[in-house]
Amino acid sequence: MKSLTARAKQASLAAVMLSSLAAMQSAYAVGTAAGTDISNTATVNFTVGGVNQTPVNSNTTVFEVDRKVDMTVTNGAATSTNPGVTNVAAIYTVTNTGNGADTFTFAPANQAGDNFDVTNLRVYQDNGGTPNAFDGTDTLIPAATPVAFIADQSIVFFIVSDIPLSATNGQNSVVRLTATTTSTATVGADNPAVVDVVFADAGSNGTEFDDNQYNITAAALAVVKSAAIITDPVNGAGANRKAIPGAVIEYTIVVTNSGGVNAASVTLSDAIPANTTYVAASMTLNAAALTDAADADAGTTTGAPVTSISVNAGTVNSGGGTATVTFRVTINN
Q: Which residues of the chain have pLDDT under 70?
A: 1-30
User: Is the Cβ–Cβ distance between 97 and 74 less than 8 Å?
Assistant: no
CA distances from 34 to 71, 287, 298 (A): 15, 77, 72
Domain-wise residue ranges, the chain:
2-65, 68-216, 221-331
For 12, the enclosing helix (H) or strand (E) is helix 2-15
Residues 6+ apart with CB under 8 A from 267: 310, 311, 312, 313
> Looking at the domain that runs over 221-331, which CATH code has it been given?
2.60.40
| DSSP β-bridge partners for residue 38 | 63
The pLDDT tens digits for 182-212 are 999 999 898 888 999 999 999 999 999 999 9
Q: Where are the alpha helices (DSSP H) in 16-161?
A: 22-26
Distance (Å, whole) CA 224 – CA 253: 6
Domains 68-216 and 221-331 in one fold: yes
Query: 311, 322 in Cβ contact below 8 A?
Result: no
Model pLDDT for residues 126-152, shown as the tens digit of each residue = 998 999 999 989 999 999 999 999 999
State the Cα–Cα distance between residues 262 and 202, nearest whole angstrom. Answer: 45
> For the chain, what's the residue count?
333
The pLDDT value recorded for residue 218 is: 96
* Fold that domain 68-216 belongs to in CATH: Immunoglobulin-like (2.60.40)
Torsion angle in degrees (nearest 10) through CA of 117, 123, 127, 133 = 10
pLDDT of residue 4: 34
Q: CB-based contacts of 91: which residues, under 8 Å, 6+ apart?
A: 75, 76, 77, 79, 132, 134, 156, 157, 158, 212
How far from chain centre, in Å, is Cα 326? 44
- Please answer whether residues 155 and 147 qualify as being in contact, where contact means their C-beta atoms are separated by less than 8 angstroms: yes
Give pTM, 2 decimals: 0.77
CA distance 81 to 73: 23
Cα–Cα distance measured from residue 302 to residue 10, given in angstroms and rounded to the nearest whole number:
120
What span, in angstroms and rounded, lies between the C-alpha atoms of 169 and 192? 60
182: part of which helix (H) or strand (E)?
A: none
Q: Residue 5's pLDDT is what? A: 39
Burial 280-296 (b: 16+ CB within 10 A, else e): eebbbbeeeebebeeee
Tell me, what's the pLDDT at 7? 39
pLDDT of residue 52: 98
Q: How far is CA 196 from the centre of its chain?
A: 35
- Residue 241 in contact with residue 233, Cβ under 8 Å? no
| Distance between CA atoms of residues 77 and 100, nearest Å | 29
Cα dist. 66→100, 199, 213 in Å? 9, 11, 37
